[in-house]
Amino acid sequence: MLLNLSVQNQSIESFHSYVSLAENSPDYIIRYDNEGRIIYLNKKMQQFFDLTYESIIGKKPYEIWPDGRYKPIEINIDQTLKDGKPRTIELFIPPVNEYHQISITPLLASDNMTIDSIFLFGRDVTEFKHSIAKTIETNKKLTHLAHNDPLTNLPNRLSLIELLNLRTSSGEYHPFALLYLDLDGFKEINDSFGHPFGDQLLFRVAHLLQELFPSDTFISRTGGDEFVILISCQKDKNIIHSTLTYLIDTLSNPLHIEEIDVYITASIGIAMYPNDAINTEELLQKADSAMYNAKNMGKNTYSFYDTQFTEKTLFRTTLTTHLKKALHNNQLELYFQPQVDVITENIIGTEALIRWPSSEEMISPALFIPIAEESGLILQIGEFVLSQGFQLASQWLKKGISFGRIAINVSARQLTHIDFLSTLDRIIQETGCNPSLIELEITESSILGNPEKMIALLNIIKAKGFNISIDDFGTGYSSLSYLKNLPIDKLKIDISFVRNITNEPKNQTIVKTIIALAKGLQMSVIAEGVETADELEFMRQNGVDSIQGYFYFKPMPQNQFTHLLS
């Protein structure tokens, strides 16, 4: 209860004009005479007492409630009266709680020397207080949602940025390490088991990080499968080495989710403050660069930032930007490398290869294809190659030019995209190409992620009339149990087994095994990268059907290849 005693003199006449307002007021209003008798109650107060007006007026509260349910309180009125003495009056205040506000105002008679009566005003502010409390609680929840990840309840990226801004703007260079952790292969787990399963995995990893690091460590989930951890340290990398080694060892144990043992690894990049960077943006960039280096080192490891990483990141970003422009401006071209029958030495097909000519020199696919894979531009590039290849096959057929089949590489990301089949159908319709003129080359790695799904998908593609080959066979550790069920027409021996094969007995054994395997599965075999007569002769003697390599032809522009065919 909040009690307020007003000491301002008020004339009795000033209150008479408010009687009608008092009757309809939501406040409790009681008027006592100078002896403590009730001489007025408004409707709100009558409802509170549940008594009639006539049964109350002119009585003191103990006359109305002899059981003493309402105890009096003494009010000291520091007013100068006729006799010059202060006045103490007993008033009965209705039972109230902490959500009621009470104010008492003494009224002076017209001579301003005599207490005429005393007004008591009461207000129930319960709803107001509850509303304030609810607003405060709502604000707390909204603040929590804005600063925390709803899945793991860890701080989110906003919290991380705010903390880093605070730590780096204080002017006091207290060292700390920023760890950027990215789970390896999380997308494949999500695709294989579903997003609810992936969410459980992220929750378990978050809990694991909280168990491994000290309780005062700042651990945040910044999005997807990325966690950022801030560790205070005194420029001692040994502490971080031991902590991360323990973390990686711990992650080597399976996580048991929905009766399934899941193995997950992490790549971690570390940037040190203030040695590597002194502001938030640079710290995050450099930790991210170090994380990518850990990925390039083979994943399941960690890497401290080095200045060369920034140069690589800048190069990757610049090349990505230029590649986007090249796609937009139709600057990419198709080159063609003929495939030759080892017996007749006739051209029996060709592989379409993407090339990026620039004003200075041809940009190597070894540079821009991995970047296209990372950035997702490989989908646009892949569609471009399919569209151009289908169109040329249709044109050459109409002109009576014999070219066999055009082999087109399909990346794993392209093959597993939800729109791949519809893209094939659309391009067939747009170009009028007969699918039998096209050979789609897929990699072993694209099959390994989900073999059953790939078998079903490739059967659909095969039913459309396409030929299918496995590119770079022998480098992806295929499961033979799945290979026998795949609708594959051709195996392509990787260049790494062909190179210098006459002097490498192990390569000879591998190539002979691949050839025997293909023949046993009724598939044809092509060897890529054949450059010497000795390599060609080995392939011919061991039953390879066709070759592709510099011994016969280098990749050539479209017009040159068309002229060759003509």
pLDDT in tens, 52-93: 888 888 888 778 777 766 666 666 665 544 555 666 666 666
Asked if residues 220 and 154 have their Cβ atoms less than 8 Å apart, the reply is yes
> Any idea which of 21-35, 147-161, 193-207, 410-424 has the lowest mean pLDDT?
21-35
Place of tokens 């049964």: 55
Q: Is 296 helix (H, G, I), strand (E, B) or coil?
A: helix
CA pair distance 223, 284, nearest whole angstrom: 14
> Any idea which of 109-113, 360-364, 544-548 has the lowest mean pLDDT?
109-113
The answer, as to whether pTM is greater than 0.85, is no
Report which of residues 33 and 199 the model is more confident about: 199
Question: What is the per-residue pLDDT across 276-330, written as a single tens digit (0 to 9) for each?
Answer: 999 999 999 999 989 988 988 888 999 998 877 667 777 778 888 889 999 989 9
CA distances from 355 to 15, 192, 197, 560 (A): 94, 34, 40, 15
Flag whether pLDDT at 45 surpasses 50: yes
| pLDDT at residue 451 in the model | 80
Asked if residues 105 and 121 have their Cβ atoms less than 8 Å apart, the reply is yes
Flag whether pLDDT at 439 surpasses 90: yes
| pLDDT at residue 2 in the model | 44
Asked if residues 476 and 445 have their Cβ atoms less than 8 Å apart, the reply is yes
| pLDDT at residue 8 in the model | 42
Question: What is the per-residue pLDDT across 389-435, written as a single tens digit (0 to 9) for each?
Answer: 999 999 999 999 999 999 999 998 899 888 999 999 999 999 999 99
Query: What tokens appear for 219 in the block?
Result: 């651990």
Sequence-distant (6+) residues with CB within 8 A of 112 are 9, 11
Flag whether pLDDT at 126 surpasses 90: no
Query: What tokens appear for 141 in the block?
Result: 């929840």
Q: Is 233 helix (H, G, I), strand (E, B) or coil?
A: coil
First to last CA, the chain: 102
Flag whether pLDDT at 14 surpasses 70: no
| Cα atoms in the Cβ-side hemisphere of radius 13 Å centred on 523 | 24
> Any idea which of 64-78, 188-202, 237-251, 467-481 has the lowest mean pLDDT?
64-78
| pLDDT at residue 6 in the model | 45
| pLDDT at residue 110 in the model | 67
CA pair distance 2, 96, nearest whole angstrom: 10
Place of tokens 């054994």: 509
Sequence-distant (6+) residues with CB within 8 A of 366 are none
| pLDDT at residue 189 in the model | 86
Asked if residues 486 and 458 have their Cβ atoms less than 8 Å apart, the reply is yes
1 pLDDT band, cuts 50/70/90, is very low
Asked if residues 350 and 550 have their Cβ atoms less than 8 Å apart, the reply is no
4 pLDDT band, cuts 50/70/90, is very low
- Rg of the chain, C-alpha, whole Å: 42
Sequence-distant (6+) residues with CB within 8 A of 493 are 473, 474, 511, 514, 515, 525, 526, 527, 528, 544
Of 142, 147, 151, 141, nearest to 163 (Cα)? 147
Question: What is the per-residue pLDDT across 356-366, written as a single tens digit (0 to 9) for each?
Answer: 998 777 888 88
Q: Give residue limits of the domains in the chain.
A: 2-128, 148-305, 323-565
Flag whether pLDDT at 368 surpasses 70: yes
CA pair distance 1, 15, nearest whole angstrom: 25
Of 411, 344, 359, 354, nearest to 552 (Cα)? 344
Of 531, 536, 535, 537, nearest to 549 (Cα)? 531
Flag whether pLDDT at 99 surpasses 70: no
Q: How many CB atoms lie within 10 A of CB 263?
A: 12
| pLDDT at residue 100 in the model | 65
Section 469-487 average pLDDT: 76
95 pLDDT band, cuts 50/70/90, is low
Flag whether pLDDT at 271 surpasses 50: yes
Q: Is 341 helix (H, G, I), strand (E, B) or coil?
A: strand
CA pair distance 88, 78, nearest whole angstrom: 9
Asked if residues 251 and 266 have their Cβ atoms less than 8 Å apart, the reply is yes
Flag whether pLDDT at 181 surpasses 80: yes
Section 195-205 average pLDDT: 92
| pLDDT at residue 500 in the model | 83
| pLDDT at residue 478 in the model | 56
Flag whether pLDDT at 262 surpasses 50: yes
CATH architecture of 148-305: 2-Layer Sandwich (3.30)
Section 339-367 average pLDDT: 91
| pLDDT at residue 540 in the model | 94
Of 397, 398, 417, nearest to 406 (Cα)? 397
Q: What percent of the chain lies above the pLDDT cut of 90? A: 43
Section 261-267 average pLDDT: 88
| pLDDT at residue 80 in the model | 44
Section 466-492 average pLDDT: 81
| pLDDT at residue 18 in the model | 61
Query: What tokens appear for 263 in the block?
Result: 């193995």
Of 400, 461, 412, nearest to 436 (Cα)? 461
**DSSP per-residue codes, 499-566:** TTGGG-HHHHHHHHHHHHHHHHTT-EEEEE---SHHHHHHHHHTT--EEESTTT---EEHHHHHHHH-
Q: Is 471 helix (H, G, I), strand (E, B) or coil?
A: strand
82-96, 137-151, 232-246, 500-514 — most confident range: 500-514
CATH of segment(s) 323-565: 3.20.20.450
Of 460, 536, 524, nearest to 498 (Cα)? 536
| pLDDT at residue 9 in the model | 46
Report which of residues 110 and 252 the model is more confident about: 252
* E-strand stretches of 51-170: 72-77, 87-92, 100-108, 115-124
Of 495, 494, 500, 491, nearest to 543 (Cα)? 491
| pLDDT at residue 247 in the model | 86
Of 30, 37, 48, 38, nearest to 104 (Cα)? 30
- Superfamily of the domain at 2-128: PAS domain (3.30.450.20)
| pLDDT at residue 314 in the model | 74
CA distances from 146 to 140, 166, 280, 425 (A): 10, 18, 19, 44
| pLDDT at residue 227 in the model | 96
